[in-house]
């Protein structure tokens, strides 16, 4: 007589066993994929990368920086797909090279931002006491100054003439280095607070005490046990921070404190757009702006998807 | 409550002290304040040295800092090098313009955010919700110069060209006889700002509204037969709008700084433009004065908002 109790080789158990055990990373990826907007964001961002990296194969930087006063302020045409700017430079080509600059500046600034945020927030929480008090008062004071004001003041502070630098055989304005530091130094505060809050609760957990009683050093506990557990937050902040950094670069360059021409960036392309907008030269405004909005939008969508994907409580997307 | 306030105030005091040191160092060394005379052929090297002496720029740094701090504590922010006027006077000339711009903007932002947020929460996942969500994502990703320059191009430049009634490109000066012109000048900058700011706010209203709509007391209200309107506006909105208090409270002090880019694009004579103009000239007393005022406001409002919130929402207790 057979009972209804499943034996070990019954299909119920087999399916349970053969169901693949997923690593946390795979779970995150699975949740991310289910987030429709985030996937669109990723596809959009991929297209953008193809345009600004692939485009460089067809258009040289010389073309992008070539001045042609005869053709200045010409509207989009067969020859100039996105028109020309006030000195006759091809907007289509400048968007390619400006995009590279904007993305690289954003990426490097985010590295500074995340490093500072993780170190300052983590150290404040881990050591506590007066270290915490001083670091957090410093963080608060930086947060109390509106970011654009801070960007301007810091931009003026380290705004010195730096010679052009050669990267991959290309001459790029030295101002790029200043912008990277200015943007990085003015954007780490929120991340520092989040990391602090997380490390504060993590360091009370048993596994940390165990690790300490086994004789692990502070550095080891910090980098090996605490920081990896905040990785989800760090990845999400890095993504959203990239969008913020690109936007900040655009603001500083728009105000003329950032990347200096002839090196193009999406922000400084809009500076000249502003001066000539009263003459109705819409192409100088719309094309760089659309690229900025599109880039920020796709990165924000990806970041949103990542945030949901890293949140273990969000099971709705599985 | 009082011990909480005392602790927060002590923290705030140290935060402000750090801000003054930070801002002083940053602004004092951002360019040479008397560089604007460099091109002046009538000024010899001795004259410049004398000017430095007179402005106190050659004293030891700590002396300069404490002198400035001492005077600032008494409400004297020093004199502008360029305008040769007291900084406080310059600021109070511009402050009303900025306050007018920012409060009108905030008013319309909150209204737009409430309408959009409530619609998308009530009609969650409908076509309308998706459209609003898409627009708020775009607005959220948009630098202010995109909307500002676009509005300027369409409503000021192109409308003029097409012979339609057009709006001014800016340059508002408060003419007491002509408040209509003032409002005219305000339309474009306010629209540009509302467009960008309401994006984030409306997402916020949507989230908190959805949370409230799912709670038990709303089901009770529905079950006892209240109209949808009464449930939404009398019961749900009150609680859903609570978190907005925090956001608005934390945003208000930043209004003092105005909107640098928007004010520059529309030549609005506000604080943002004052800051930007004088930062370019390395006129550090003005820059420093504006930074100090904003940060005092930010630090104060952060505490006020926290305290106020416990009154608006009795469920929150502070310890």
Give the pLDDT confidence of A249-268 residue by residue, as tens digits. 888 888 888 777 778 888 88
Task: Tell me whether B303 touches chain A (CB under 8 Å).
Answer: no
End-to-end CA distance of chain A, in Å? Answer: 40
Across the interface, of A137, A145, A296, the residue whose CB is closest to B291 is A145
Could you read off the pLDDT of B267-303 as tens digits, one per residue? 888 888 888 888 888 888 888 899 998 889 889 988 8
In this prediction, residue A117 carries a pLDDT of: 94
User: Side-chain half-sphere of A174: how many Cα atoms within 13 Å?
Assistant: 8
In chain A, the number of structural domains is 1
Q: What is the largest CA-CA distance in chain B?
A: 87
In this prediction, residue A1 carries a pLDDT of: 46
CB A194 within 8 A of CB A207: no
- Give the whole-number percent of chain A exceeding pLDDT 90: 21
- Give the whole-number percent of chain A exceeding pLDDT 70: 81
Residue identified by tokens 């001014």 is B168
CB atoms within 10 A of CB B7: 10
Across the interface, of B31, B138, B153, the residue whose CB is closest to A156 is B31
Sign of CA dihedral B219, B224, B225, B227: negative
Average pLDDT (A4-13) is 56
Closest approach of chain A CAs to the CA of B108, in angstroms?
A: 22
Could you read off the pLDDT of B183-235 as tens digits, one per residue? 888 888 899 999 888 988 888 898 888 888 888 989 999 899 888 888 888 88
Inter-chain residue contact A289 with B137, CB threshold 8 Å: no
Q: At A124, is the pLDDT very low, low, confident or very high (cuts 50, 70, 90)?
A: very high
In this prediction, residue A316 carries a pLDDT of: 47
Task: Please report residues of B whose CB lies closer than 8 A to that of A141.
Answer: 15-16, 18-19, 22, 295
CB A296 within 8 A of CB A29: no
What 3-state DSSP class applies to A173? coil
Task: Please report residues of A whose CB lies closer than 8 A to that of B142.
Answer: 293, 296
- Which of B124, B129, B145 should be substituted to probe chain A, the one whose Cβ sees the most A Cβ atoms within 10 Å? B145
In this prediction, residue A317 carries a pLDDT of: 40
Q: Which residues of chain B have pLDDT under 50?
A: none
As a whole number of angstroms, the distance between CA B269 and CA A58 comes to 46
Inter-chain residue contact A149 with B291, CB threshold 8 Å: yes
- Whole-prediction pTM: 0.85
Across the interface, of B18, B137, B142, the residue whose CB is closest to A138 is B18
Task: Tell me whether B210 touches chain A (CB under 8 Å).
Answer: no
A28 belongs to a structural domain = no
Chain A residue with Cα closest to B282: A156
Please state, in angstroms and as integers, the Cα–Cα distance from residue A304 to each residue in A10, A40, A191, A280, A311, following that order.
42, 12, 16, 37, 11
Across the interface, of A153, A251, A278, the residue whose CB is closest to B26 is A153
Across the interface, of B254, B287, B302, the residue whose CB is closest to A153 is B287
Nearest to A274 by CA among B156, B84, B112: B156
Assigned token pair, B267: 């030549």
Closest approach of chain B CAs to the CA of A232, in angstroms?
A: 22
Could you read off the pLDDT of A260-297 as tens digits, one per residue? 777 888 888 888 877 777 776 778 888 888 999 999 99
What 3-state DSSP class applies to A303? helix
Inter-chain residue contact A157 with B29, CB threshold 8 Å: yes
* CATH H-level, domain B92-312: superfamily: MetI-like (1.10.3720.10)
Task: Please report residues of A whose CB lies closer than 8 A to that of B11.
Answer: 137, 140
Inter-chain residue contact A278 with B157, CB threshold 8 Å: yes
Task: Tell me whether A275 touches chain B (CB under 8 Å).
Answer: no
CB atoms within 10 A of CB B300: 14
As a whole number of angstroms, the distance between CA B139 and CA B198 comes to 8
Q: How far is CA B145 from the centre of its chain?
A: 16
Instruction: Tell me: pLDDT of A122 over 70.
Output: yes
Inter-chain residue contact A251 with B14, CB threshold 8 Å: no
Inter-chain residue contact A289 with B145, CB threshold 8 Å: yes
ipTM: 0.85
Task: Tell me whether A190 touches chain B (CB under 8 Å).
Answer: no
Task: Please report residues of A whose CB lies closer than 8 A to that of B91.
Answer: none
Task: Tell me whether B152 touches chain A (CB under 8 Å).
Answer: yes
Inter-chain residue contact A277 with B157, CB threshold 8 Å: yes
Inter-chain residue contact B153 with A277, CB threshold 8 Å: yes
Task: Tell me whether B135 touches chain A (CB under 8 Å).
Answer: no
A130 belongs to a structural domain = yes
As a whole number of angstroms, the distance between CA A278 and CA A272 comes to 11
CB A147 within 8 A of CB A225: no
Domain that holds residue A271: 33-61+83-310
Q: At A193, is the pLDDT very low, low, confident or very high (cuts 50, 70, 90)?
A: very high
A277 belongs to a structural domain = yes
Could you read off the pLDDT of A47-58 as tens digits, one per residue? 999 988 887 777
A28: left (phi over 0), alpha (psi -120 to 50) or beta: alpha
Closest approach of chain B CAs to the CA of A112, in angstroms?
A: 20
| Average pLDDT score, chain A | 81
Nearest to A297 by CA among B314, B69, B138, B32: B138
Average pLDDT (A188-207) is 90
Task: Please report residues of A whose CB lies closer than 8 A to that of B145.
Answer: 250-251, 254, 270, 274, 289
Instruction: Tell me: pLDDT of A113 over 80.
Output: yes
Please state, in angstroms and as integers, the Cα–Cα distance from residue B248 to each residue in A87, A283, B107, B296, B303, following that order.
44, 36, 10, 17, 13
On the 0-12 / 13-18 / 19+ scale of CB atoms within 10 A, A166 is: exposed
Assigned token pair, B152: 């300027």
Q: What is the DSSP letter of A167?
A: E
CB atoms within 10 A of CB B177: 6
E strands, A159-255, in order: 165-167, 170-172
CB atoms within 10 A of CB A311: 14
Task: Please report residues of A whose CB lies closer than 8 A to that of B14.
Answer: 133, 137
Domain with CATH 1.10.3720.10 in chain B: 92-312
């Amino acid at each position: 007589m057979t009972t209804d109790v499943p034996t070990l080789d019954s299909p119920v158990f087999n399916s349970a066993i053969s169901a693949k055990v997923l690593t946390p990373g795979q779970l995150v990826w699975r949740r991310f994929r289910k987030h429709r907007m985030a996937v669109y964001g990723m596809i959009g961002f991929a297209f953008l990368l193809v345009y600004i990296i692939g485009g460089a194969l067809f258009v040289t930087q010389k073309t992008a920086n070539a001045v042609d006063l005869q053709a200045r302020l010409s509207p989009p045409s067969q020859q100039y797909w996105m028109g020309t700017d006030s000195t006759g430079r091809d907007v289509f080509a400048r968007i390619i090279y400006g995009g590279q600059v904007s993305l690289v500046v954003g990426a490097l600034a985010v590295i500074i931002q995340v490093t500072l945020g993780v170190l300052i927030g983590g150290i404040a929480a881990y050591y506590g006491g007066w270290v915490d008090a001083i670091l957090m008062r410093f963080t608060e004071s930086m947060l109390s100054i509106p970011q654009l004001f801070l960007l301007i003041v810091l931009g003026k502070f380290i705004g010195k003439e730096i010679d052009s630098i050669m990267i991959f055989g290309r001459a790029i304005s030295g101002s790029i280095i200043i912008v990277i530091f200015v943007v990085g130094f003015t954007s780490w505060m929120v991340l520092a607070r989040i990391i602090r809050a997380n490390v504060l609760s993590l360091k009370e957990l048993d596994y940390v005490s165990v690790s300490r009683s086994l004789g692990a050093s502070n550095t080891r506990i910090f980098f090996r046990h605490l920081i990896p557990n905040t990785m989800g937050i760090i990845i999400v902040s890095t993504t959203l921070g990239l969008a913020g950094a690109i936007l900040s670069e655009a603001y500083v360059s728009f105000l003329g404190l950032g990347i200096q021409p002839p090196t193009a960036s999406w922000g400084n392309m809009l500076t000249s757009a502003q001066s000539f907008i009263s003459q109705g030269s819409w192409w100088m405004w719309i094309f760089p702006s659309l690229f900025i909005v599109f880039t920020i939008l796709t990165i924000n969508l990806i970041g949103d998807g990542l945030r949901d994907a890293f949140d273990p409580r969000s099971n709705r997307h599985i | 409550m009082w011990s909480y306030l005392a602790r927060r105030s002590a923290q705030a005091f140290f935060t402000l002290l750090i801000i003054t040191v930070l801002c002083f160092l940053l602004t004092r060394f951002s360019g040479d304040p008397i560089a604007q005379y460099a091109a002046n052929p009538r000024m010899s090297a001795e004259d410049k040295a004398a000017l430095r002496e007179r402005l106190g720029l050659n004293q030891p740094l700590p002396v300069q800092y404490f002198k400035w701090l001492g005077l600032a504590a008494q409400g004297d922010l020093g004199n502008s090098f360029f305008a040769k006027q007291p900084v406080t006077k310059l600021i109070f000339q511009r402050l009303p313009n900025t306050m007018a711009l920012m409060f009108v903007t905030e008013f319309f932002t909150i209204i737009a955010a409430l309408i959009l947020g409530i619609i998308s929460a009530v009609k969650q996942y409908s076509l309308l919700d998706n459209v609003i969500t898409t627009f708020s994502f775009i607005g959220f990703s948009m630098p202010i110069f995109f909307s500002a320059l676009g509005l300027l191009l369409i409503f000021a430049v192109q409308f003029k060209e097409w012979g339609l009634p057009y709006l001014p490109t800016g340059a508002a000066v408060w003419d007491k006889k002509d408040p209509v012109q003032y409002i005219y000048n305000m339309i474009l900058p306010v629209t540009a700002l509302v467009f960008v700011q309401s994006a984030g706010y409306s997402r916020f209203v949507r989230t908190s509204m959805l949370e409230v709509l799912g709670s038990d007391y709303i089901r009770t209200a529905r079950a006892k037969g209240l109209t949808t309107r009464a449930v939404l506006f009398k019961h749900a909105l009150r609680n859903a709008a609570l978190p907005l208090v925090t956001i608005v409270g934390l945003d208000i002090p930043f209004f003092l700084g105005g909107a640098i880019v928007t004010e520059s694009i529309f030549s609005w004579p506000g604080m943002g433009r004052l800051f930007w103009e004088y930062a370019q000239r390395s006129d550090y007393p003005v820059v420093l004065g504006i930074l100090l005022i904003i940060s005092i406001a930010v630090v104060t409002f952060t505490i006020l908002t926290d305290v106020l919130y416990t009154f608006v929402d009795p469920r929150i207790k502070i310890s």
